[in-house]
Amino acid sequence: MFVFYLGFYVTLVVLGGGRVVKGATQITTILENQFDLGAASALGVVLLLATQFLGSHQK
């Protein structure tokens, strides 16, 4: 299951080409470079809430 979801992350990195930063990539960058758990957690919550909002408003 982990490998399946890893594909979604790798696809974002490859399609962005390193120039376009997506949400999951930004969270990883914050954790790797700055080790700022607060900022990474806040972005994770925003990503979760946006997903729930968009998912609940689909027909």
Instruction: Please compute the mean of the pLDDT values over residues 15-37 and round it to a whole number.
Output: 74
Query: How many domains are contained in the chain?
Result: 1
**11 pLDDT tier (thresholds 50, 70, 90):** low
Dump pLDDT digits (tens) for 31-53.
Answer: 888 888 888 888 889 888 988 89
Asked if the model's pLDDT at residue 1 lies above 60, the reply is no
Instruction: Identify the domain containing residue 38 by its residue range.
Output: 2-56
Distances (CA, A) of 33 to 4, 9, 27, 47, 52: 26, 18, 10, 20, 28
